[in-house]
Amino acid sequence: MEEDLNPSNGISRKAEALLSVPDRAGYFGEYGGRFVPEPLIPALEELEDAFIEAFSDSSFREELTNVLKRYAGRPTPLYLAKNASEILGGARIYLKREDLCHTGSHKVNNTVGQCLLARRMEKERVIAETGAGQHGVACATAAALTGLRCEVYMGEIDMERQSVNVSKMRLLGAKVVPVSSGSRTLKDAVNEAFRDWVTNLKTTHYCLGSAVGPHPFPMIVRSLQSVIGEETIRQCMELEERLPDMIVACVGGGSNSIGMFYPFIGRGPRLIGVEAGGIGIEPGMHSSTLRSGEVGIFHGMKSYVLQNPDGQICTTHSVSAGLDYPGVGPEHAYLKREGLAHYTSVRDEDALSAALFLSRVEGIIPALESAHALAWAFSQAEKMEKDEYIVVCLSGRGDKDLEIIERHYPGLGGECLGDG
Amino acid sequence: MGRIQEMFGELKGKRAALITYFTAFYPDEEQSYRIAIAMLECGSDALEIGIPFSDPILDGKVIQQTSSIALERGATLGKVLRLCERIRERTEKPLLLMGYCNPIYRYGTERFASDARECGVDGILIPDLPIDEIEPWRSALSSKGINTVTFCSVNANPLRIRKACDLSTGFIYCLSLLGTTGVRDELSKDVFQLVRMVKSCSTKPVVVGIGISNAQQCEAVGEVADGVVVGSALMQVVMRGGDYLSELKAKVRSFAEALARR
Ligand SMILES: Cc1ncc(COP(=O)(O)O)c(C=O)c1O
């Protein structure tokens, strides 16, 4: 089994190059880097050094593995969605059950790691941004566990549409700070978190929630989320004795997807990232950054950005708050450019109907973010052969989305299956 | 020699330069033009003209708000450059643009450099462009004779400070504190130490900004630095509305007088 995990085994040359990214300046090819005000540079350097030092310390890695196992519930199952697969009548669909992680999403993999690191760096406080509230809850949880004070920035609009998570964060002892600037959603929460961080560098670690931002964040988040893909490889070999034909994950900032993709890059499976297609292709109607954005500099990184012709950042739309972001991690920009992964999008409506379908036939209520990946996988499974199989990263559970789902399907009873 | 070098040359040994900031197109295009002229008339030695951006992460509430209103008023980088051109017709003092990376990147760095040159711009400050990333921008700007200002922050190590000094083609901008732009009651002690450090590394002019809010603070900073930048404190006056122009003029005059008191 260990041999299968060895990345130098049967890896393509193109993918091999990936093992050396990011480079020392934090670049994945031409994407990434560090576009932040000067005062943040020493903090990013401190973080990078601390991360490298901690990860080369086996006792730190052991502690992290232990927490993930005994506290966060890893490894998460790889589940064959038999009913769904049979109904669709094509490739089999497996679900990597990140929804079963403590706090209900993959976000905890990252926050536990970063909070342990923050404690090791002798910080007393962590701050975070959150959209859906999943990262905020995961961060508040990890902060409670590690004894750190926690403040979470959240756009006013998101606080409204994800109010249960606001209550959870408060119960966990975190302070939730409403963000009223700009579009009052995730991007503005990130701005506020950066402004807090630049003011409180000595005491505070910024626990960034996705594979975005200035170096070393994309690298740190990838390292902490790669456990998803590593477990999946092992489980695929156990269950199917070969790697999958296709892997599908939703892409907001890109953390669950990079965590799932990274160990698979260049090893055969087609990697598909699914962005939020929202309600249309016009600017402001979607969050499909890699599909419709252009290269720019935003939140400390050079990557694809949804922007207007004058370089101002666009507002976005998605039914899922967690995908509602106008930027994307630089490593995804690189994978797209190198043809190592492919990116597509799914509209609100199709994500909602995939969520309904999975709930009805498998008894699993997915997060609307994850439902984007499901919808794409369902549409592909039908076209694929029965002996092929797909793995979908089910990044989170849908409790937080019940209100939105109910609003979309009023009078939800026991009868219909939707059109999924 | 450019206008920036000439200005510091003339003031050397006499007093520190007063650099006043305003957000282009706030409260609207015409009023921001009148603000610029008023600042120049009341003793400002150079203007720092803010290019509005949707996500200004180094700015506090005041400049966040002026920027977002300026964008609603239709500010674009192209229009800001034309505003500079109009101001240039009225003055020979240095004009500095302050703006975040993305609008400039999107406009095209080379194209920006030549258009800025034509509009009479002398230098540029890009707060989210640290010295590690500055090289391609700096050479594109230099080739058109636009000076690139580098930043030094109070938590930088000596090596970094030296690098910032070497890379600057205009002056060195010392950030007075760890934090965003905005009005502050107190001046941090760290900045005096930082200015001394920078001065020991370089003969280029050293300017201090962020949080400088009153005449007293101007005077204190003017004792050690070659220039002082005032921003939010002035924009706050404009934000209050009413007959803001006379209050703004009085403020700029009081800062200029404080610096002359040496
Ligand atoms: C369940 C779930 N999936 C996916 C995402 C999107 O983030 P990322 O692309 O970083 O995985 C979020 C973000 O909040 C989420 O809550």
Q: Residue A346: what pLDDT?
A: 98
CB neighbours of B248 closer than 8 A, spacing ≥ 6? B35, B38, B39, B234, B237, B238
Contacts of A33 in chain B (CB under 8 A): 133
Question: Which H or E run includes B173?
Answer: strand B172-175
B102, B131, B178 member nearest A39 (Cβ): B178
Q: Could you tell me if A198 lies within 8 Å of chain B, comparing CB atoms?
A: yes
Q: What is the mean pLDDT of the segment spanning A49-67?
A: 96
Q: Residue B52: what pLDDT?
A: 98
- Among the ranges given (A18-22, A165-169, B189-193), the one the predictor scored with the smallest mean pLDDT: A18-22
For residue A375, give the amino acid letter: A
- Tokens found for residue B74: 């239709």
State how beta strands A301-305 and A294-298 pair: antiparallel
Cβ separation A311–B105 shorter than 8 A: yes
Using one digit for the tens of pLDDT, what is the confidence trace for A239-267? 999 999 999 999 999 999 999 999 999 99
Q: Residue A368: what pLDDT?
A: 97
Determine whether A255 is an active site residue.
no
Atom number of ligand 1 nearest to Cα A367: 1
Angle (nearest 5°) at CA B234 between B231 and B240: 135
A41, A181, A299 member nearest B64 (Cβ): A181
Atom number of ligand 1 nearest to Cα A130: 14
Report the C-alpha gap between A287 and A328 in whole angstroms: 10
The rounded Cα B116 to chain-centroid distance in angstroms is 16
**Test mutation, B132, B165, B176, chain A, max A CBs within 10 A:** B132
Residues 20-39 of A with CB under 8 A from B: 25, 33-39
Catalytic choice (B28, B30, B45, B59): B59
- Beta carbons of A384 and A91 less than 8 angstroms apart: yes
Cβ separation B106–A296 shorter than 8 A: yes
Q: Residue A182: what pLDDT?
A: 85
In angstroms, the separation between the Cα of residue B104 and the nearest Cα of chain A is 8
Q: Residue A17: what pLDDT?
A: 57
> pTM score > 0.90 for this model?
yes
Q: Residue B261: what pLDDT?
A: 86
Determine whether B48 is an active site residue.
yes
- Residues β-bridged to residue A79: A95
The pLDDT-based confidence of A6 (bands split at 50, 70, 90) is very low
The rounded Cα A416 to chain-centroid distance in angstroms is 31
Collapsing DSSP to helix, strand or coil, B12 comes out as coil
Q: Could you tell me if B132 lies within 8 Å of chain A, comparing CB atoms?
A: yes
Q: Residue B1: what pLDDT?
A: 78
Its sign, for the CA torsion B40, B176, B222, B216, is: positive
Report the C-alpha gap between A330 and A216 in whole angstroms: 11
Q: Residue B113: what pLDDT?
A: 98
Tell me what ipTM this predicted complex has: 0.97
Cβ separation B155–A35 shorter than 8 A: no
Using one digit for the tens of pLDDT, what is the confidence trace for A267-300? 999 999 999 999 999 999 999 999 999 999 999 9
Using one digit for the tens of pLDDT, what is the confidence trace for B170-208? 999 999 999 999 989 888 889 999 999 999 999 999 999
- Residues β-bridged to residue A97: A394
Return the closest-CA partner of residue B114 out of B146, B138, B139, B136: B146
Q: Residue A36: what pLDDT?
A: 98
Report the C-alpha gap between B141 and B136 in whole angstroms: 9
Q: Mean pLDDT for chain B? A: 96
Using one digit for the tens of pLDDT, what is the confidence trace for A334-387? 999 999 999 999 999 999 999 999 999 999 999 999 999 999 999 999 999 999
Report the C-alpha gap between B83 and A404 in whole angstroms: 47
Cα(B142) to centroid of ligand 1, in Å?
Answer: 43
Using one digit for the tens of pLDDT, what is the confidence trace for A189-239? 999 999 999 999 999 999 999 999 999 999 999 999 999 999 999 999 999
Using one digit for the tens of pLDDT, what is the confidence trace for B108-165? 999 999 999 999 999 999 999 999 999 999 999 999 999 999 999 999 999 999 999 9
Catalytic choice (A107, A168, A187, A302): A107
Cα(B148) to centroid of ligand 1, in Å?
Answer: 39
* φ, ψ (nearest 5 deg) of residue A278: 55, -130
CB neighbours of B30 closer than 8 A, spacing ≥ 6? none
Residue with tokens 């009341």: B42
Q: Residue A9: what pLDDT?
A: 46
Q: Residue A12: what pLDDT?
A: 63
Q: Is B260 exposed, middle or buried (0-12, 13-18, 19+ CB in 10 A)?
A: middle
Cβ separation B57–A194 shorter than 8 A: yes
**Test mutation, B71, B77, B105, B129, chain A, max A CBs within 10 A:** B105
Q: Could you tell me if B250 lies within 8 Å of chain A, comparing CB atoms?
A: no
Long-range CB contact pairs, A47-54, < 8 A, 24+: A47/A117, A47/A121, A47/A205, A47/A216, A47/A220, A48/A215, A48/A216, A50/A117, A50/A120, A50/A121, A51/A117, A51/A216, A51/A219, A51/A220, A51/A223, A54/A116, A54/A117, A54/A120
For residue A2, is pLDDT > 70? no
The pLDDT-based confidence of B258 (bands split at 50, 70, 90) is very high
Atom number of ligand 1 nearest to Cα A254: 9
Instruction: Identify the residues whose C-beta falls under 6 Å from ligand 1.
Output: A 105, 131-132, 134-135, 210, 250-257, 322-323, 367, 369-370, 395-396
For residue A405, is pLDDT > 70? yes
Name the residue at shortest CA distance from atom 4 of ligand 1.
Answer: A369
Q: Residue A243: what pLDDT?
A: 98
Q: What is the mean pLDDT of the segment spanning A144-166?
A: 94
Q: Mean pLDDT for chain A? A: 93
Cα(A253) to centroid of ligand 1, in Å?
Answer: 7
Q: Residue A1: what pLDDT?
A: 33
Using one digit for the tens of pLDDT, what is the confidence trace for B80-94? 999 999 999 999 999
Cβ separation A38–B103 shorter than 8 A: no
For residue A10, is pLDDT > 60? no
Q: What is the mean pLDDT of the segment spanning A393-415?
A: 89
Q: Could you tell me if B60 lies within 8 Å of chain A, comparing CB atoms?
A: yes
Contacts of B153 in chain A (CB under 8 A): 37-39, 41-42
Q: Could you tell me if A215 lies within 8 Å of chain B, comparing CB atoms?
A: no
Cα(A252) to centroid of ligand 1, in Å?
Answer: 6
Contacts of B57 in chain A (CB under 8 A): 36-37, 191, 194-195, 198, 299
Using one digit for the tens of pLDDT, what is the confidence trace for A92-106? 999 999 999 999 999
